[in-house]
Structure 1
């Protein structure tokens, strides 16, 4: 099974940049019209807008459990420091735990994978699943839980 969120990520990026441009143009217009206090309030709105996307941590996700490996590729959708492409690959038999943590009324979800290595137990960094639909999150959870049970 392969799951990708390419379309949703594209929508998220478009919405973020379109609204950011509209807010920036509004702030610029307010400064030019000498409404400094309103312009500063607009800067606060933009800061909250950016902070929301930073906290939500929307990521492009590609999950595959085909063959004998689990592959999870991901990168941040909104990043001003450049894209850091990440990939997690390991044989299915090494998976020990898949920890799903929901927050913000189930809108945001994080995944932590725990595997058995030759030296002991290793925990991968947390991957945000906020960019996936709830159905895709559930499919990944069912897939990982079935692998753990086998």
Structure 2
């Protein structure tokens, strides 16, 4: 219930590992000294930032986070694509099989379609679990380190 409905505002949230991360962008005010009015100094700072990000990208920690992502994402996407193409191919090439009744009005095609939805939800759950266990902490530490080096 919102304030305009007569109740108090309810704060909703999700456990986000990035919530407490240090981040400064052009939309936020920075604490500390005011920006240097000299354009050359600003260009040097931007070049230094670019060098830091390139070093981080070439570093082992960043590459490990990417490897962990790829080891999960590529096989999972490949398996889901194969499963989907199998379903579509069976619907086109074997209409007799797909139309075979299983229980009452439910046939093999309906079960396979429901299995597609189930697969999607299972993949989403597995991706979130894998990210939370294998990548989020390493990526957050890498981000904190990068932000400290850029400042």
TM-score norm. by structure 2 comes to: 0.37
Structure with more of its chain in strand, by fraction? 1
Bigger relative contact order, structure 1 or 2, given CA contacts below 8 A and separation 6+? 2
Q: Flag the structure with higher helix content.
A: 2
Answer with 1 or 2: which has the greater Rg. Answer: 2
